[in-house]
Amino acid sequence: LVCRDGETLGRWKRDVNTGPQFQMPTYQVSVPENGPAGTPVILLRAMDPDEGDAGRLDYSMDALFDSRSNSFFAIDPQTGAVTTAEELDRETKSTHVFRVTATDHGVPRRTALATLTITVSDTNDHDPVFEQQEYKESMRENLEVGYEVLTVRATDGDASPNANILYRILNGNGANRIFEIDPKSGVIRTNGLVDREAVESYQLIVEANDQGRDPGARSSTATIHITVEDDNDNSPQFSEKRYVVQVPENVASNTHILQVNATDRDKGSNAMVHYSIMSGNTRGQFYIDAQIGNIDVVSQLDYEMNKEYTLRIRAQDGGRPPLSNISGLVTIQVLDVNDNAPIFVSTPFQSTVLENVPVGYSVIHIQAIDADSGENARLEYALVDMSPNFPFTINNNTGWIVVASGLDREAVDFYKFGVEARDHGSPPMTSSASVSITILDVNDNNPEFTQREYTMRLNEDAAVGTSVLIVSAIDRDVNSVITYQITNGNTRNRFSITSQSGGGLITLALPLDYKLERQYLLTITASDGTRFDTAQVFVNVTDANTHRPVFQSSHYTVNINEDSPVGTTVVIISATDEDTGENARITYFMEDSIPQFKIDIDTGAVTTQMELDYEDQVSYTLAITARDNGIPQKSDTTYLEILVNDVNDNAPQFLRDNYQGSVYEDVPGFTSVLQVSATDRDSGMNGRVFYTFQGGDDGDGDFIIETTSGIVRTLRRLDRENVPLYELRAYAVDKGLPAMRTPIDVHITILDVNDNPPVFEHDEFDIFVEENSPIGLVVSRITASDPDEGTNAQIMYQIVEGNIPEVFQLDIFSGELTALMDLDYETKSEYVIVVQATSAPLVSRATVHVRLLDKNDNVPVLKNFEIIFNNYITNKSSSFPTGVIGKIPAYDPDVSDRLTYSFEQGNELKLVLLNHSTGELRLSRALDNNRPLEATMRISVTGKVCFGVGDIHLNLYQLMDQDHIYYAVIKLVVQHVVVMSYKAVWLVCLYLPLGVPIKNLTM
């Protein structure tokens, strides 16, 4: 067989080193953690059919994805035994992936690859670890039962079931019974009301138990410090129901006389007590220190004015809103001291007496008064500076001077002596006055007043001793001496009268009081000793500005809501003035200019003139003065404390503009991701903040937020490949009415874990490769995709089935499929291999059909054959075959080649007819005669490139009717012979390769 260029065509086979082959492309094995170095892991064996060095293998392995794995394992290079190189820790690294290589010593050296995935199995060698070893949390007292205080969380580095953590409170007895913990979620709640005054702080010891079984359960504890914040739920309590103190009236100003004390069971500002006098301090004589409760006398006391004071004290705490107690009573008993000397109602005393009056006659009444009381005011009179044989004596108790012996005007017509008034105080005090007694003759004319009535106006603030009026009487007797006395109407001994220059001088003996008496009707008696006359004196007392305005309390406290409109009346402050008229007309003003408020000067109404804001200022103290319009003006000052009530006018404010966090997609439910925090400038319930996703976005239920702490936790398993980023929206909501809320954006990035196997684009691939392609040709690139990212998306490729012997090699990283041997379509037209993509420990597989494309690399094949034709000659009918008697027995191993047929020589007479395209043969009619024939012909078969030749031997025989048996044989191919036998007119022929139908044979 030759090609058209005349060269002989032939094929040769390379004698190459057969590569080794692992029994399996992928090995997976588990080894427990904490085993000693040298622990057997697995024995890897590869097979190599070669003999000698070509079949001797060396083993090695190299870590894929994480080079740290190389330090944990070793492989015996001769046996392939894999052992641990050091103690393993599953929590440090749980999966190790290696590329294992078996290399022979042939030429060239051939290798086999396999993947070894070693999973480190868990033992319970880790205690649960709390997020914090000590938790510190504060909560307000009196919160509702079931209030979530905080959530504790512990993690366990072990794997389930060695990490199923349950929580419990170890010291849950006694006072700690007030708390309970959810054993699964770790949420600590109250199961009763918390009272700070009973227990101010709690210390809980919480245990986390991992429920492990291999080798046993492990646990750890955390300490929870819960501080109870104070609510202002206790009002101050006075140490005594009534305080009593006795104070001498002469106590010095600014003297401390008593301290009241009230305590508040609350804490901090809620327990800071401020004191004020609510009532009883009408004249402002006492002052109380607002901080410590010391009561001082600030102005002079006067027992004679007021013997006892009862003050009502208010104790108010500093809470918001404040609580107060006004039950404190202080009784101040003023003790009299002997601070007033007796005062004579008139000095000097003058009187006359007739010389003929009997012994015991009362001449003149000496009067003195003492403003003190008791023994300090009990007076005793005595005469002093007397001459010998003095004819008068005085009653020590009443002060009446009486005639003690007979008078003799002719002997002595005038007596002048002294009188002394002494009180019984300690030490006693005395006063003295002079007394003049004129001895008169007896007469028979009555004195007569020059006026029967006198009218006089006197201001109540007139000083003692002020001259009021001089009355005058005339006695027509000679040398008569008229004396004057107030014999009626001298209420409270306010006035006294003395004889002076023949008249009676009325003077003011004691201070007036317009409130007590506004008019006096005095009866004045003028006497010459025996005869007398009377006159009426009308004294009208006019009001003086003797009283200052007095507030009912030295301190007022009122409340006002911060959202009250401008112009709201806060309170009406009023003072009273015991004077009348202009002296009692009061105007009000503020001592300091506080722009938020103003006061009506006439009514005392305090109103707002600016908007208030509790968050800027919670209270104001105004000094308000009430001033009368007397001359001179008098005033009193009180303090108005205005407490601003909080209203819910501030929404919660987050500490950040937004929050960002990240979490691995495979974390268990209720894992904490981040914590949001907001504050509210309001107070009380208006300032208490809780957190919620309600009305926002919780990632379709993938996250929850703890209402009290603001910790955002996962609610279920996440999947980064579905949702790589969550844009959540949470709200901070206060507990005011109506509640105010503030949104916050929370961005949570989901971190990838290797939880998705690689995915081939198709389950089956068809690859077409031309035969005779050079060894080492990359015939295709087979790749898979992994929805994970980073190292978790790194894919390793290998052939796991159908590559025996090793015809192809798949690059472990690129997926390039390379031919390692000659590919011959005529030897094998299709290879079916299974490839595996590994993203340890996850794998997927695909079937690859490598289909070879035929090339025209074979010459047509044609062998010599012969045609034997027995021509049956008869007179009856023609039996010469006119159809196809057969086909040239040629073939081409190349399925793509198309053959053409032709006679080279020997058929010049065209005895055999040939179809050049199909190779079909027919006999020419020229052979239908009675002559035998034998001929040899040369035929050629031609493909696209090469051709072949062969010889045809034609033998023609004649058969007559008389022959009993006739034979017709066409000998085509020696190996295939079929003989058919007929008697009489039967034709026996040979048939197979020509494919000639029997109907076309000669009968």
Q: What are phi and psi of 736, to 5 degrees?
A: -75, 175
Q: Which residue has the higher pLDDT, 381 or 283?
A: 381
Please write the tens of the pLDDT for every residue from 305-317. Answer: 888 999 999 999 9
Q: Which residue has the higher pLDDT, 960 or 367?
A: 367
Contacts of 515 (CB under 8 A, 6+ apart): 578
Can you give the pLDDT at residue 961?
58
Average pLDDT, integer, range 298-304? 88
Residue 290: pLDDT above 80? yes
Average pLDDT, integer, range 748-771? 91
Dist CA 85 CA 372 (whole Å)? 112
Can you give the pLDDT at residue 805?
77
C-beta separation of 381 from 374 below 8 A: no
Can you give the pLDDT at residue 863?
85
Can you give the pLDDT at residue 19?
81
Can you give the pLDDT at residue 967?
41
Can you give the pLDDT at residue 991?
35
Please write the tens of the pLDDT for every residue from 948-992. Answer: 888 888 888 776 655 544 343 443 333 332 222 232 233 333 333
Please write the tens of the pLDDT for every residue from 107-164. Answer: 888 888 888 999 998 899 889 999 889 999 998 888 899 999 999 999 888 887 888 9
Short-list 478, 560, 548, 546, CA closest to 516: 546
- CA distances to 20, 56, 812, 828, 945 from 17, rounded to whole Å, are 9, 12, 22, 20, 34
Share of the chain above pLDDT 90, in %: 47
Can you give the pLDDT at residue 874?
67
C-beta separation of 166 from 209 below 8 A: yes
Can you give the pLDDT at residue 678?
94
Can you give the pLDDT at residue 841?
79
Short-list 123, 131, 67, CA closest to 96: 67
Q: What are phi and psi of 516, to 5 degrees?
A: -85, -50
Q: How many CA atoms lie within 13 A of 337 on its CB side?
A: 10
Residue 169: pLDDT above 60? yes
Average pLDDT, integer, range 614-637? 89
Which pLDDT band, with edges at 50, 70 and 90, does 16 fall under? low
C-beta separation of 288 from 243 below 8 A: no
Short-list 236, 203, 206, CA closest to 313: 236
Q: Which residue has the higher pLDDT, 932 or 995?
A: 932
pTM of the prediction? Answer: 0.54
